[in-house]
Chain A
């Protein structure tokens, strides 16, 4: 803000911001620290910080006991696949809503919001029955479709807001130059909307990666991604906190790395393009 310009003010703001960040980040830090402790050290009272005995044993054991690469690969296929499929459906739909708005456009947006009013529990059984009937229960294809639908409203919504920012004159100019509709969408609109599409893609990959309700409900073993891996981890193994922390860290690490390198696009995605 304009008034925060004096050096003292700036120092105070810096301090406040870093304190907030530290408080927010502490639980994650604690989990990562715990994952490197021995089980005895992890449950020591009072909690051990620097004097703890450190080990890589937890990671080795989690790796050995479970098929981490398979879960990881399932997560990648499901989150990327559902997002790409969603974009394929959403780009034309958002084009329609942004550039050929009709009387029904608002109703459509409302209808998409209504899918967010639906508790997952309410459609759990019908979806389960549908997937069994279609033979896509516990398959990657099934989860790609399920998560795509879960995120489709938000994908369309985001693309719609981005597309509306693009002046329709540019599309008209392309049309005057003889571009047909397909070329207009594919070669004029899509490249112009790349930043918006990238943000949408990233956000939805993360949402799909973290989804747990449907991935657990709709899989047993074959197609289970990392969220199911982490859910399955504590039950039979008892409460081994250090190992649980190691497994959790392994489950969130890929997404944290992805998020870290793409935070700008991500923030833009989360805020519908308002934060530059």
Chain B
């Protein structure tokens, strides 16, 4: 090694660090303009009385936390409280979102695991089957929601007909319209659409498990079920944790499926849908923004908690 090379080392490193910064800059600027700035504006709208008219001319007045919670004194001296945080409709939407997310992600994880175990085995036509189960994921939600809406129709739906034939139900059910079945209908469609995706993510995790682990367990005569719970599942945990968080993020924000499949149902309205309604139907941009701000806070809190409790390492370096 000559001295010149040693002297060159740090400057080259500096050059790379500087380049790294400039390489990141365009992306950071983009994220700032189209993610950070709109979010900031949306949060500030939630502190104003903005409506469809005032939002465009900037005449919306600052109202502090009134959209969230507000004390009103009536002329007769009676004190009334109102705002999103006291709105029964909002809490109904929160409850719907939470139960939808819990049930759908749980079902999708368990079914996805089962499907992945099947796909991981050897059988005829594996490539074809793998491609076929990808199809629901590749279809736009707006199309699959319509398609299912029709299959679940009480008069012409093929599903009612099948269930009638098998004898599971005695008369056709208007799945998407009835309050007690609407959530079930949404869950069915979401599970159908997302389980394949989940299965693929889990399959990826399964294929990283070294085969000799199974060979060793087999030689020791350990029951396959025990092998699954003692070997497969623990080794799958990192892949599962990442797959689950991505799914939960999508589930908490769910909008399009519910908006198309059960547009007016109170039994399925979620936080995103309610916020959208508040803005588009009622022109109440202030309260609508307050709702979406609360949703954002709830999701952020969940993610931070999840990463801390599950010790998920997002950079992919398994510790």
Q: Flag A92-117 by CB within 8 Å of B: 1 or 0 each.
A: 11011101101001101111111111
Q: Which residues of A contact B299 (CB under 8 A)?
A: 117, 119
**Contact for B42 among A17, A126, A227, CB less than 8 A:** A126
- The docked-state distance in angstroms from the alpha carbon of A234 to that of B142 is 11
Contacts of B141 in A (CB 8 A): 210, 212
> Which A residues are in CB contact (< 8 Å) with B296?
117-119, 122
Interface of B is mostly: helix
Q: Which of B71-79, B83-91, B127-135, B173-181 contacts A (4 or more CB under 8 A)?
A: B127-135
Bound-state CA distance A227–B141 (Å) is: 10
Within 8 A of B (CB), among A237-276: 241, 244-245, 248, 251-252, 255-256, 259-260, 263, 266-267, 270-272, 274-276
Contact A10 to B289, CB < 8 A, known contacts A3-B218, A21-B129, A149-B31:
no
Least CB distance, A276 to chain B, in whole angstroms: 8
Segment with Cβ contacts to B, from A26-34, A54-62, A193-201: A26-34
Smallest distance from the beta carbon of A63 to chain B beta carbons, Å? 18
Contact indicator B121/A122 (Cβ below 8 Å)? no
Instruction: Give Cα distance in the complex from A271 to B120, angstroms.
Output: 14
Query: Does chain A have a CB within 8 A of B104?
Result: no
Contact assessment for A272 and B151 in the assembled complex, using a CB-CB cutoff below 8 Å:
no
Residue in B42, B201, B272 with the greatest tally of chain A CB atoms within 10 Å: B42
Query: 1/0 contact trace for B156-174 toward A, CB 8 Å?
Result: 1010010001000000000
Any B CB within 8 A of the CB of A181: yes
B303 and A20 within 8 A (CB): no
In the complex, are the beta carbons of B314 and A267 less than 8 A apart? Answer: no
Does B96 touch A at the CB level, under 8 Å?
Answer: no
Interface on chain A toward B: helix, strand, loop, or mixed SS?
A: helix
Cα separation A27 to B196 with both chains bound (whole Å) = 14
- For residue A170, CB closer than 8 A to chain B, the reply is no
Q: How many residues of B contact A (CB 8 A)?
A: 102
Q: Are A17 and B23 in contact (CB under 8 A)?
A: no
Determine the residue in chain A with the shortest Cβ distance to B216: A2
B221 nearest CB across to chain A (Å): 12
**Of B20, B55, B123, which one neighbours A14 at CB under 8 angstroms?**
B123
Indicate if the CB atoms of B23 and A93 lie closer than 8 Å.
Answer: yes
- CB-CB under 8 A from A28, the residues of chain B are 135-136, 139, 147
Inter-subunit contact B143/A252 (CB<8 Å): yes
Q: Is B276 an interface residue (CB 8 A)?
A: yes
CB distance from B20 to the nearest CB of A (A): 4
Q: Which residues of A contact B98 (CB under 8 A)?
A: none
Do A227 and B315 touch across chains, with their CB atoms under 8 A apart? no
Least distance between A48 CB and chain B CB atoms (Å)? 10
B256 interface contact, C-beta 8 A: yes
B107 to chain A, nearest CB (A): 14
Complex contact A113–B158 (CB within 8 A): no
Contact A181 B122 (CB under 8 A): no
Task: Report B187-224 residues with CB < 8 Å from chain A CB.
Answer: 192, 195-197, 200-201, 203-205, 207-208, 211, 214-215, 218, 224
Distance of A22 Cα from B285 Cα, bound (Å) = 45
C-alpha gap A124/B272 in the complex (Å)? 11
Given contacts A24-B196, A259-B138, contact A248 B146 (CB under 8 A): yes
Contact, CB under 8 Å: A17 / B16 = no
Q: Is the CB of B124 within 8 A of A14?
A: yes
Q: Cβ of A121 < 8 Å from any Cβ of B?
A: yes
- B-contacting residues, A56-84, CB 8 Å: none
A275 touches B303 (CB 8 A): no
A13 contacts the other chain (CB 8 A): yes
Option from B20, B161, B192, B249 in Cβ contact (under 8 Å) with A96: B20
Indicate if the CB atoms of B207 and A230 lie closer than 8 Å.
no
- Interface 1/0 per residue, A205-249 and B, CB below 8 Å: 010011111000000000000010011001000000100110010
CA distance A248 to B146 in the complex (A): 9
- Contact B293–A122 (Cβ < 8 Å): yes
A120: CB under 8 A from chain B?
Answer: yes
* Given A122-B275, A125-B45, also A30-B138 (CB < 8 A): no
- Determine if B264 is an interface residue (Cβ-Cβ < 8 Å): no
CB <8 Å contact, B293 and A266: no
Given A115-B35, A119-B275, A149-B35, the answer on whether A2 and B126 have CB atoms closer than 8 Å is: no
In the complex, whether B119 has a CB less than 8 A from a CB of chain A is yes
Does A16 make an interface contact (CB < 8 A)?
Answer: yes
| 24 contacts across the A-B interface (CB closer than 8 A) | A14-B123, A17-B129, A18-B129, A24-B135, A27-B192, A30-B158, A31-B147, A43-B156, A47-B161, A89-B27, A89-B30, A96-B24, A108-B24, A118-B39, A119-B255, A122-B39, A122-B292, A211-B140, A227-B142, A230-B140, A245-B147, A255-B138, A259-B135, A271-B200
Q: Residues of B at under 8 Å CB distance from A?
A: 12, 15-17, 19-21, 23-24, 26-27, 30-31, 33-35, 37-39, 41-42, 45, 55-56, 115, 117-136, 138-144, 146-148, 150-151, 155-156, 158, 161, 165, 192, 195-197, 200-201, 203-205, 207-208, 211, 214-215, 218, 224, 239, 246, 249, 253, 255-256, 271-272, 275-276, 279, 285, 288-289, 292-293, 295-296, 299-300, 303, 314-316
